[in-house]
Structure 1
Amino acid sequence: MGYGTMRLTGPHIWGEPADRNEALQILQQAVAQGVNFIDTADYYGEDVTNRLIAEALYPYNKDLVICTKVGATRKPDKSWVTYNTPQNLRDSIDNNLRTLKLEQISLVHFRVMPHSDVPFDESLSAMFELQKEGKILHVGLSNISREDLQKGMTMGSIATVENMYGHGQRTSMDNPYGGLTNGGEEVLDICEQNHIPLIPYFSLFNSLPKADSKIAEIAKKYDVTEAQVNLAWLLHKSPWILPIPGTSSQAHLKENLLAVKIELTQADMDYLG
């Protein structure tokens, strides 16, 4: 289980957390409990999660993978905008290196934004160039369609894919923050065939807009929370899935991590779909 830092920011994924000390303790507790994959982005905040990570965890454990994303930025009105020219990407990487206090970032996802004026292959080529320069160790893709993933794999080594994925939301949908969001179900088979970890984000989002009666029934069966069953379903779905649930609560962090102990039967998985 990994940990996604997006929820450590203020409202609308902007500004400082309501309780900065709690945010720092969450990061420290996650690593203390064995989490060695942390997902962030310099447009969370802006720069809030990166600075929290550095303050809480630097100098980093040798086995800790800090994964960041580029391809987007934020305006003062809190809107999300595309930021994916080769120079944009270079500036983002340099900013992430600075705020995270790193000389090389282990993994960087190029997030594909809707309505881009920059061709996908131009942006991805810039990512591979930054990799050659040693600023990035591994290149991943986020919010990627099946077609663009296949295209990207012909251009270089794609280490990971980060798409929205949960029991109640498996395919493309309109993103609550604007634009189209590509689902994990559309690329999972490609990831499995090529041994590419699929990192689902918003994996618990499906429990917000509507109730999931099947998840609720399994949660009652095992006396666990619906969020835990959502995570357990992902972990049972494929060995190539790495959930990164985020939270701004130490109690919820502990709850999320306990989802790895839930053993769903084949009958449970067949029922959940």
Structure 2
Amino acid sequence: MTSEIITAASAGTWDLGDLTVNRVGFGAMRLTGSAAFDLGTPSNREQSISVLRRATELGVNHIDTAAFYFSSIRSANELINRALAPYSEDLVITTKVGPARDPSGAWITPARPDELRGQVEENLRQLGRDHLDVVNLRLMGQESVSEHFGALAELREAGLVRHLGISGIKARHLAEAQAIAPVVCVQNRFGLDSRTTDADDILRICGEQGIAFVPFFAIAGEGREKGVHSAAAAPATDDVLLAVARAHGATVAQVRLAWTLHQGPHVLAIPGTGNPDHLVENVAAGALRLSADEVALLDSHHTGG
């Protein structure tokens, strides 16, 4: 790819309700260390702040975060507040509620419906906001979302939340949530190496209904969601991926992101990093245009789990 500085606008835009965002955004989980769930290796605070500021300079106006993204001495929300407040009018910050961790970092029982207000208020305090732009309900194995999503819909009516999304879902959960309140985005695991029939169905349904589909771990390995940080957690690289990357003068990670964005105009990318060079590369991936043959080739050599 060209060495010129490419901005997040290169991938186009999508609307989250009445909020317009560039399709290449930023995931804040990695800002606190090697992962948000690793309490042993805190990140460099000033570098994390610098990465956030550089992201907005590159046109990123969609940042994904959560109050449970923290390490021993770092909080993603606090870093965002320190780096970017007072916030620009076009910056959209998306948060997640549902999961919960105690101060030691251990996962505890997910929030009950009546506890979601406290989680929303925690995000408000940490970010220094009077309302949250988008809040995703992150499912933690629930068969039904009606009580939890209904509680968030009440907070939306109260003005604490502007728009609602849902994460880690099956298609039936989306229909159930939509019967309660509008859904502007779905966050599910999805990537070149992690496609399933369910994931493809939700991708299609979101496109048909004008809902943003926001994959997480699009360039990460199978172990990433569980906090595994070893060679086994890294995504596979094969000759096909390498050939496509070389043809474009790009990295394999950029090809993975470009493939994700090629899945539809409603697909948003939220790659996360604490490395300023990787940030520039991730944003530049939005300008990488794969041919139909290249997309088909990649599809034929990668099947979901």
Alpha-carbon shift at residue 270 of structure 1 (Å): 1.4
Letter in 1 for 2:64: D
Q: 2:162 aligns with which of 124, 130, 137?
A: 137
Give, in whole Å, the separation in 2 of the partners of 1:187 and 1:109: 16
Bigger relative CO (Cα 8 Å, ≥ 6 apart): 2
Matches within 5 A, 1:54-203: 54-114=81-141, 116=142, 119-171=144-196, 184-203=199-218
**Across the two proteins, how many residue pairs are aligned to each other?**
261
Shift in alpha-carbon separation, 1:132–1:146, aligned structure 2, 3 A: same
Give, in whole Å, the separation in 2 of the partners of 1:263 and 1:49: 32
Q: Specify the SS of the correspondent of 1:264.
A: coil
Give, in whole Å, the separation in 1 of the partners of 2:200 and 2:107: 25
Query: In angstroms, what is the RMSD of aligned CA positions?
Result: 1.9
Q: Is the 8 A contact 1:83 1:89 kept in 2?
A: no
Q: Does 1:44 align with 2:69?
A: yes
Q: TM-score, normalised by structure 2?
A: 0.81
Q: Is the 8 A contact 1:27 1:57 kept in 2?
A: yes
Q: Is the 8 A contact 1:161 1:199 kept in 2?
A: yes
Give, in whole Å, the separation in 2 of the partners of 1:11 and 1:268: 32
Letter in 1 for 2:91: L
Which residue matches 1:7? 30
Greater mean deviation of Cα atoms: 145-154 or 10-19: 10-19
Alpha-carbon shift at residue 201 of structure 1 (Å): 0.6
Q: TM-score, normalised by structure 1?
A: 0.90
Shift in alpha-carbon separation, 1:134–1:61, aligned structure 2, 3 A: same
Q: Is the 8 A contact 2:31 2:274 kept in 1?
A: yes
Give, in whole Å, the separation in 2 of the partners of 1:142 and 1:227: 23
Give, in whole Å, the separation in 2 of the partners of 1:199 and 1:82: 25
Structure 2: give runs of 5+ residues left out of the alignment: 1-23, 222-232, 300-305
Q: Is the 8 A contact 1:82 1:113 kept in 2?
A: no
Give, in whole Å, the separation in 2 of the partners of 1:48 and 1:212: 36
Q: Is the 8 A contact 2:258 2:288 kept in 1?
A: yes
Which residue matches 1:241? 267
Q: Specify the SS of the correspondent of 2:99.
A: strand
Which residue matches 2:254? 228
- The superposition leaves residues 28-52 of structure 1 with CA deviations (integer Å, 9 ceiling, x where unpaired) of 0000110000000000006700000
Shift in alpha-carbon separation, 1:77–1:55, aligned structure 2, 3 A: closer
Give identity over the alignment, percent: 36
